[in-house]
Amino acid sequence: MNLKLLLNKKVREGALTEEQRNSFLASMTDEVAELVLDNNLRQTQAISLAMHRSQQQYAEYQRFMLWLESSGKLDRELEFLPSDEQLNDRLSRGKPVWTRPELAVLVCYSKVMLKEALQEANLLDDPVLAGAVSRAFPPRLVADYGSDIAEHQLRHEIAATQLANDMVDRVGFTFFFRQMESTGASAGDIVRAFTISINILGVDKLWQQIEGHEDSLNAGVQLDLLHILMRLVRRSTRWLLRNRRLNLHCDEMIQAMGEPMALLLNKLPDFHESEWAELWNNEKAQLIDSGVEEPPASTLAAADSMFISVGTVDMALRLQQPVELVARLAFKLGEDLSLDWFMAQIVGLQPQNRWQDLARESYVDDLESQRRQLAACLLEGHKGEDVEQLIGNWQTQQFQLIARWKAMVVELRRGTPDFAMVSVALRELLDLVQSSVDAARSQILVDCHLDCAK
């Protein structure tokens, strides 16, 4: 229909005859079929992704369904979706909580809800988001009539549909609901943060690498890998919404962050030391043993550091410092304070309810924020590139609180950290960070007074 509307307009303008239009439509049959089949494939994969983690995420799925219901958008009985009692009964009996047909219904509703919300956003003001319109048409048509497609009479609806489908198919039908639940952001801001995230982190390439090895990978392994990407995009999108919501210009942020992010990600192993390397090599070895090839296994094993890198690059740009210097400092602090190990413990927590799920999410964000604040305060006013001297001075200044934190890490390593332990530890780390920030500010004031006295 969209294609016919476009070509009919050209006929009315006299640029095409009806015969030329019909011939052109017929010549694109195979290309249109490929677009349809690709769309069907992604929808099927979206249902498989939802089903793969349906036991672990059953409560999140249930909350999404309740949200649809409370919004007046869903009639469970009409759609043959289970009641809360049925879901609890399935769970108590150890049966699958959700079925594929039920999840297919929720995937469909998610796309409809998101599409409706996105139509109210000014998506086409951003060149990156406006590009979604062209992706709905065959490449040959885009090549011949690109400017006409950009002015299509249904361009707002097409963009909203394409972006909604892409988000739900890639990162799950609860993604935008979870981001709204966590941050209170609008659908438009969520799709902007999502778009920035996948572009600066190179998620498209990783996604294609995983999909390109579907014949050689066990289906369960492939879905596990895609869930690693989903988790990475969920965290980085949330970071952007919480830290850069007032500046979510896709084109501007991708251009600013893309190159330094690529530089940092290419050199991740060079910026880390022994403890991180051990964690990374163990994770990479597990992926390779599952049949994943070495290059994607290396990248996916560093997913936590890729998330940390978003704040690291942003900090380098904000402080106008070389990204390599900032990365060396941030990751050196992570090594000295066992922050990478601590992050792994937080990620490994197993939530038993909604509040624990949100708490784990908050712990991840808090740890990233505290690590970033600590690095930023040490860099404030720093002109040289001697990271060792910078950290040495800080260690002397904060000796007592550093010793206290390291003693707590030793205590945590003796057992398996739980939610209460992690909460207390984060509070202890915050004391160290705040003391470091206060000391840095005091030093800046002293330096200013000395400069003025001169």
Q: What is the DSSP secondary-structure string of 188-233?
A: HHHHHHHHHHHHHTTHHHHHHHHHTTTTTS-HHHHHHHHHHHHHHH
Asked, for residue 286, whether it belongs to a domain, the answer is yes
Residue 148, in any domain of the structure:
yes
Q: Please tell me whether residues 442 and 399 are part of one structural domain.
A: yes
Take residue 205 and report the two structure tokens written for it: 């390439």
Cβ atoms of 31 and 139 closer than 8 Å? yes
Residue 428 domain-assigned (yes or no): yes
Q: Which domain holds residue 31?
A: 1-173
User: The tokens of 418 are what?
Assistant: 């739980």
Nearest Cα neighbor of 211 from 199, 221, 197, 201 is 221
pLDDT at 381: 63
Rounded to whole angstroms, the Cα distance separating 116 from 384 reads 52
Kindly state whether residues 247 and 278 are assigned to the same domain. yes
What is the DSSP-derived secondary structure letter of residue 122?
A: -
Residue 348 lies in a domain: no
pLDDT digits (tens, 9 = 90+) for 171-217: 999 999 999 988 999 999 999 999 999 999 999 888 888 887 766 78
Query: Is 167 found in the same domain as 67?
Result: yes
122 and 242 fall within a common domain: no
Report how far residue 279's alpha carbon sits from residue 293's, in angstroms, rounded to the nearest whole number: 18
Domain C-terminal end among 124, 153, 173: 173
Residue 384 included in any domain: no
Predicted confidence at residue 259, as pLDDT, reads 94
* Contact partners, residue 367, CB within 8 Å, separation at least 6: 339, 342, 343, 346, 426, 429
Residue 133 shares a structural domain with residue 251: no
User: 153 and 201 in one domain?
Assistant: no
Residue 364 lies in a domain: no
Residues 189 and 322 in one domain: yes
Residues 326 and 207 in one domain: yes
Q: Does residue 131 share a domain with residue 251?
A: no
Are 166 and 235 part of one and the same domain? Answer: no
pLDDT at 373: 94
Residue 327 in contact with residue 270, Cβ under 8 Å?
Answer: no
User: 3-class SS at 414?
Assistant: coil
| The pLDDT of residue 384 | 61
In-domain check, residue 149 = yes
Q: Are residues 157 and 214 in the same domain?
A: no
- Name the domain boundary from 173, 198, 219: 173
- Domain end position, chosen among 144, 173, 202: 173
Same domain, 59 and 118: yes
Give residue 120's pLDDT. 81
Q: What is the pLDDT of residue 382?
A: 65
Please give the model's pTM, rounded to 2 decimal places.
0.90
> Contact 408/428 with Cβ under 8 angstroms?
yes
pLDDT at 295 (0 to 100): 85
Q: What is the pLDDT of residue 333?
A: 93
Buried b (16+ CB within 10 A) or exposed e, 381-416: ebeeeebeebbeebeeebeebbeebeebbeebeeee
At residue 41, the pLDDT reads: 87
Looking at the 3D structure of the chain, how many domains does it have? 3
In a domain, 66, yes or no: yes
Low-confidence ranges of the chain (pLDDT < 50): 446, 449-450, 453
